[in-house]
Each structure stands twice: as C-alpha cells, then as structure tokens.
A and B are shown apart, each in its own frame.
Chain A
Amino acid sequence: MMLLALYAIFFYAPVEKTMGLVQKIFYIHVPAAFIAFLAFFITFAASILYLVKKDNQWDLIALCSAEIGIIFCTIVLVTGPIWAKPVWNVWWTWDPRLTTTLILWFIYVAYLMLRGVVGENKKANFSAVFGIIGFVNVPLTFFAIRLWRTIHPVMITSRGINISGPMKDTLALTFSAFCLLFIFLLLTRMRLEKMKRATETVIAMFEERHHF
C-alpha cells in the first residue's frame, strides 16, 4: 500500500505543467485540505458510534483519525501561505476556507489536549462529546466567517482557478495518492494503538498478579 502511494506521488511530477514552480503546491494543498476535513468527519462519526455502542473500538478510531487529521491540517496551513505569498503577495488572507481550516486545527489540538488531561475512565466519554461538538461547529464557523467576509471588502478574489485537462488529471492522481496515504497512515496508527492498549491491559494484569 505504502509503495503504491509513494509511487503515485512521484509519478505525478513529470505530468504537471509549469505554471510557476510554486503552483505545484496546489496539488498537495487541496487534497490535504479535503483529507483534513474528512479525518475529522471520521472522528465525528466514530464519536457518535462510541457514545451509542460504548465499544472502545470506536474511541480508538476517533483518536487515530484525529491524530492523522491534525497532520494533514498542518500541511494545509503551511502550504497555503507558501503558495499565497508569491502568487498574491500576502502570507495570510481571512478567506473563509483558510480561516475555517485554522479553527479546525485548533479544534484538533483541543481534542488531543483534552485526551491528555482527562483520567482514563472519563477520557473516551469526554473526547467523544467533544468530537461531536467540534465537528458540528465547523459548518457554523464557516458560515459565520463567510458572512463576515462579504461585509468587508474582499481583499483577494476567490481562489477558483480554471482547471484545464492535464492539471485536472494530476489533481485527481494526487488526490487518490493522498487518500491512499491517509488510509495507510490511519490503519498503521490504529494497529499501533491497539498494540499499545493490549500491552497496557497485560501490564495491568501483571501488576494485579504480583501486587499482593
């Protein structure tokens, strides 16, 4: 799986047209953004399933998806300004999409920090609730910011670029590559987490056995 993803990423390089070297970041930026939101959607769905079924498997999925998601979210937030500076001459714009992504990033951080400070017995419950609240908040934030932007004079026009044929193909390719990468990372992280939990269970059993 991993080889396939890597191959796809390297393969696209010769296919792209040169419209300014920096423009190539577009191919990373857009799929990463999609995945960042998808990952949190998975966390959201897993959180709901956890609260309904109280099965720790779902909590595991929520956690792993959030950890991978924040990575992709960071990629979006880093590639955005790198692309924006040469093209529009600004590092940051309060464009609805970018700002919402920033808020999403903060929600991810909050989610992971929450898991850090809560005790074991409440951790899954609280994280699940926050996973749900956080995700529902995203569309609300997006609309609020979009409304905000239409009232102020818009500095930068919308990012819609006409996508021509070969670029479309490249985008599709990197998109699939990123999806595969995400799935691979997610599954690996999940396997790691499962092993970690199993170890801790065994250690707890050991401690009880030798405790008295």
Chain B
Amino acid sequence: MCLFSFLVVIIFSFAFGTDLQVYNGMVPGILWVAFIFSGLLGLNRSFGTERDKGTLSGLLLCPVAPWEIFLAKMIGTLIFTTIMEIFTFLVFIILYNQNVLPFLVPLSLVIFLGTLGFSIVGTIFSAMSSATKARDVILSILVFPISVPVIIASVKATGLILEGRSIQTVYAWLKILVAFDMVFLLLAYLTFSHIMEE
C-alpha cells in the first residue's frame, strides 16, 4: 500500500514537470490522490478475506452488534491508512520541497478528519462489495461519488493551510468535514445490520 502511494506521488511529479509555480497549486491534490488510491487498495482486504475464508459468519455469530463490527473494521482501516499516509507524507514533503513544520497541527487535524470520512465510507462499501462478483471495480464506483465532499474539503483545506492562511478560512471546510463524518457514522449505525444480513 505504501509503495503504491509513493509511486503515485512520484509519477505526478513526472506528469507535471518541474516548474515550481505549477506545483504549488496542485500540491494538496496530488497528496490526496495518493492517499485515496492507496486507501482503496487497502480497503478491499477489510472484508474480502473475511468473506473468502468464511470467518465473517464466525464474527457475526459472536454476541456483538453488527455496528460494533463496523466500528472495529473502520478503526482498523483508519489506523492502517493513517500509517500509510504518514509515510507518504514524508516522501511528499521531501520530493516537493514543502515547508510544513509551522502547520503540523492543523494539517494533522485535516488529514485525520478526511481519512476518517474516507474510512467510514470505504468500510461500508467494502462490506457490500466483498459480497459481489466484481469486488474492486464496484468498490471504486461506489466510493468515489460518495467521497466527493470529503475529497473537496480535504484538498481545499490542506491547500489553504500549506499556503499559510489563517484558521478562519479553513474553519468552514473543517465544518464540512466534521458534518460529513458525523452524518455518515450515523448512517452506518442505522444501516449496517442490513448489510450484514446474509
């Protein structure tokens, strides 16, 4: 997963040449594209092996609510994706000469919220797509349209922070990210048991 995200970051630098001016506008976008594509790779494993090996039924037979299974899977995805993102981020700052030290705290907040949103949506759809024939394809088709608000908000917020703007401007984007996360957590809570029904 990490390897893939490194590749994405590097390939983009080839795609856009070495003109620094062009870079600065694209920088947050490139970062998040790397995050999202590698995140998708990892997501498939979340429920894929469970269904393949039949252990999903074993989990469902435990005295835990399906919602708790969702939370567990989601947090697992979140942790793995975050680790991947940290490494990617390091490569990224080096290759693109970004100065991030002053912005580490707000940046971490944005990345966390964005990754959380992506993990929530991804886990829901991973649970669904693992039960279908064309797993990877349908996962991407389902995740992308729904992740649009997260992606826009995260990219914009990251860009603003890297440019050194004040917290005020970023505030609105943070609101959207938080709203998205809460709404989808609620939706997952309400609907996950239906997804887990055999």
Contact = CB atoms under 8 A, between A and B. Distances in A.
A44 B176 CA distance: 22
A140 B183 contact: yes
Given A129-B128, A129-B195, A113 B148 contact: no
A132 B191 contact: yes
Contact of B145 (A51, A110, A122, A132): A110
A136 B191 contact: no
A112 to B, nearest CB: 10
B141 interface: yes
Say which size band chain A's interface belongs to: 20 to 34
Interface of A: 51, 103, 106-107, 109-110, 113-114, 117-119, 121-122, 125-126, 128-130, 132-134, 136-137, 140-141, 143-145, 147-148, 151
29 contacts: A51-B191, A103-B148, A106-B145, A114-B141, A117-B133, A117-B138, A118-B131, A118-B132, A119-B131, A119-B132, A121-B198, A122-B197, A125-B195, A126-B128, A126-B195, A129-B124, A129-B128, A129-B194, A133-B146, A133-B191, A137-B146, A137-B148, A140-B179, A140-B180, A141-B149, A144-B149, A144-B176, A147-B173, A151-B156
Contacts of A107: 145-146
B172 A147 contact: yes
B152 interface: yes
Contact of A136 (B148, B153, B187): B187
Interface of B: 121, 124, 128, 131-134, 138, 141-142, 144-146, 148-149, 152-153, 156, 169, 172-173, 176, 179-180, 183-184, 187, 191, 194-195, 197-198
User: What does DSSP make chain B's interface, helix, strand, loop or mixed?
Assistant: helix
Contacts of B173: 147
Contacts of A147: 156, 172-173, 176
A132 B195 CA distance: 13
